[in-house]
Amino acid sequence: MTNEVLVSVQDGIQTITLNRPEARNAMTLAAATAIAQALDDLDNNDELRVGILTGAGGFFCAGMDLKGFLRGERPSIEGRGFGGLTEKPPQKPLIAAVEGYALAGGFELVLACDLVVAAENAQFGIPEVKRGLAATAGGLVRLPRQLPYRLALELALTGDMFPAPRALESGLINRVVPAGQALEEAIALARRILANGPLSVAASKRVIMESQDWSQDQMWELQKALTEHVFSSEDAREGSAAFAEKRAPVWKGR
């Protein structure tokens, strides 16, 4: 695996760190390939429960590496999208821990994550129009689903940056913390998720993600198909027993 991406694991949390701080963690094909491999491991390894995506050196990701683009390189993986993530997010929860700039493809990585913790100095944006490009890695299709329509359109048409405090006010991100503390807060949030039943977490994420396109006359049956196994699981019985016995549950994921 390239040293452009660092992957660490601790207590069921996988942390993926973009490691090109000299280039504001701009995305290369090598980095995208490494991220895709890490996310496959996140989904396939039962010991891993939550992922965190962050960047080194006080930056998240400034987007596509333009020098690579001029050489004909596109940092996307077939079937996975930009950074190995945007078209196929993991089934397990993924938290973005953002310091500094998350621009263009970097912002689109954030939009593909489930939860977002940002430093107070973080800046988001899709400035592709300023470079004669378009935010086709999720910015144009995800942003209107995560922000009010006119605000999303303003960001897409002007390419202006969107500061973390305003992103919090708009409901785009979950937490704003002092600079340098985004990863620490993301780990704390991941641990809160880890305390819950893994089957319940997985089913809850899937329903929320997929139900955006469900009609009212089909949503209850579709939800049932994705959640019925949770209620008949060993973990469901364990959760109820632990509550009655006033102890922490011991999850088995089955």
Indicate which residues carry an active-site annotation.
Answer: 108, 128
Tell me the residue ranges of DSSP E strands in 120-174. Answer: 123-125, 162-163
Q: Report how far residue 199's alpha carbon sits from residue 206's, in angstroms, rounded to the nearest whole number.
A: 11
CA distances from 52 to 15, 43, 80, 124 (A): 5, 13, 18, 18
Hey, what amino acid is at 166? Answer: R
Tell me the residue ranges of DSSP E strands in 34-161. Answer: 50-55, 76-77, 81-82, 94-98, 101-103, 115-119, 123-125
